Chains A and B, each alone.
Chain A
Amino acid sequence: MSLSATDVLARPEEVTGSPPRAARRRRLPDLRRWISPLALLVLWQVASSTGVLPPDKLSSPWTVLQAGIETARSGELGDAFAVSIVRVGLGFLVGAAVALVLGVVAGLSRWGGVLIDPPVQMLRTLPFLGLIPLFILWFGIGEEPKIVLVALGVAFPLYLNVYSGIRNVDDHLVEATTALGFTRWERLVHVVLPAAVPQTLVGLRQSLGVAWLALIVGETVNADAGLGYLITNAREFLRTDVIVVGLIVYAALGLITDALVRLIERRALRWRGN
């Protein structure tokens, strides 16, 4: 039997009998998992340096890094970043507000469910990214179509999860609090809404993922500012290095928002334990 370095490193904590949660947080990451990504990066650099991979197809990692520093210094990247963040933020706020209101009303009231749920379920089968031509006709090519696109992408997953979260509340808990003399309002505040929080957070994560996707598509199809514009503009000049910089920023933003929701989940769902 062989022991790897990480096994050995992880062992002492298990022996001390510290609570499993704390132990898991402190455990060192498995460094072996970095081997293949780094190898790929090296391979990419080698292919670029030897001319196997021409820069008009894909720039080398080193050039990408330099382009990143350059666009950041010139303020180009920062400006594009700010424009995109505002778009996704506004779109998210609008979409989330609509989804929460509709989801709560549909979830709580019988008539609300009957009237709201069918049209929403029908609309959600539409590929919302396919609506871009209509949005351009309706809202022109300014900020509105991009914000509406993000809002739409956000609204559906969040609505669905809020609705099902409220509908799947444990009847036993509702009954127990009724026996304790809770009014309808008190049941809503103390039982139904808290019970819907975990499912709502699942919806939040899904909808944030969709929000970035909607933004990227909206910005790439037509834009005169923002990360998408930075990328399409770079395409005109065959600047594959700048294109990759834009993509990396998109990816980083997606990761950061996801981590943010995880953080909220850990705080809000402490009662679930591990």
Chain B
Amino acid sequence: MARELIARVHGLTKRFGDRTVLSDVDLEIAKGEFVALLGRSGSGKSTLLRILAGLDAEVEGEAEVTGTVSVAFQQPRLLPWRKVWRNVVLGLPGRGRDREVATRALAEVRLDGHADAWPRTLSGGEAQRVSLARALVREPDLLLLDEPFGALDALTRLAMHRLVEDLWNEHQPGVLLVTHDVDEALLLADRVLVLGEGDIVAEHQLAAARPRTLSDHLDVRAKVLADLGASDHATA
């Protein structure tokens, strides 16, 4: 079966000085596919995401994306001098003019009441939802999530997982979620990749059934932890 690809990385190598962060990486993401990229800190996973986002062009090899790309970073990175709704539509041609579109997007992340708030008055979770709305309102073919829940408290993170799943169901973008949280990857992704020492060292396909619970993929969880080089006492 021929898959329609929206991102294709081939023989990608990235060096910072004499340090090789990514070496000869291959990666394909299909239309509408949810891919999670796991790795320890410093494994180069954020570097790979930045390259796909077009933020780093000094590379060897190929990294192609077809269509629109949106990014949500670990920090929301909202412009503090623009009201929430203007931040949402910053990535659209008017650069913060289309109020109607903003209102609809904010309703989707359940922040209808905050359209006229200043970003600094939002909580961490609210700001991150605005950041998600800003990314999705561009109707991206590829949505890049760079540890977007890393700075949130545990309860907010759970709510965000549900929200991302709903939004993904609704809009069907291809997703590359970069994270170091194994459970998060297993809850959300169709396919889990493990990055170690600059290359993808393992790949696990998950059954599509959703919504999932933490106990759904315990077998894969053990394997992924082994791939990451961690022993898991909880399931051993």
Contacts and interface: CB of A to CB of B under 8 A. Distances in A.
Most B CB contacts (10 A, CB to CB) among A181, A190, A191 go to: A181
A246 B138 CA distance: 62
A186 interface: yes
A271 B90 contact: no
Nearest to A269: B81
A273 B118 contact: yes
Contacts of A180: 70, 90-91, 134, 138
A186 B79 contact: no
Given A175-B55, A273-B118, A273-B120, A191 B71 contact: no
A194 B134 CA distance: 20
A63 interface: no
A123 B178 CA distance: 50
Q: Chain A interface mostly helix, strand, loop or mixed?
A: helix
A271 B83 CA distance: 8
B80 A178 contact: no
Given A194-B79, A273-B120, 4 more contacts: A179-B69, A179-B71, A195-B81, A197-B81
A273 B121 contact: yes
B118 A271 contact: yes
Interface in B155-192: none
Interface of A: 172-173, 175-182, 186, 190-191, 194-195, 197, 270-273
B53 interface: yes
Nearest to B76: A176
B42 interface: no
B71 A176 contact: yes
B89 to A, nearest CB: 10
Contacts of A181: 91
A271 B78 CA distance: 12
Contact of A172 (B75, B82, B90, B121): B75
Contacts of A190: 79, 82, 90, 95-96
Given A271-B80, A271-B120, A186 B55 contact: no
A181 B134 CA distance: 12
Contacts of A270: 118
A206 B71 CA distance: 40
A115 to B, nearest CB: 27
Interface string B188-203: 0000000000000000
Interface of B: 53-55, 69-71, 73, 75, 77, 79-82, 90-91, 95-96, 118-121, 134, 138
Given A181-B91, A186-B95, A190-B95, A176 B118 contact: no
Contacts of B81: 194-195, 197, 271
Given A172-B77, A190-B95, A194-B81, A179 B90 contact: no
A179 B54 contact: yes
A182 B120 CA distance: 22
A129 B69 CA distance: 57
A270 B95 CA distance: 21
A173 B91 contact: no
A272 B121 CA distance: 9
A19 B118 CA distance: 16
Contacts of A273: 118, 120-121
Nearest to A189: B95
Given A179-B54, A180-B90, A273-B121, A172 B95 contact: no
A224 B165 CA distance: 78
Contacts of A177: 79, 90
Given A186-B95, A271-B81, A179 B120 contact: no
Nearest to A180: B91
A272 B120 contact: yes
B80 to A, nearest CB: 5
B118 A179 contact: no
29 contacts: A172-B75, A172-B77, A173-B77, A173-B79, A175-B77, A176-B71, A177-B79, A177-B90, A178-B55, A179-B54, A179-B55, A179-B70, A180-B70, A180-B90, A180-B91, A180-B138, A182-B95, A186-B95, A190-B79, A190-B95, A194-B79, A194-B81, A197-B81, A271-B80, A271-B81, A271-B120, A272-B120, A273-B120, A273-B121
Contacts of A179: 53-55, 69-71
Nearest to B120: A273
A176 B73 CA distance: 8
Nearest to B134: A180
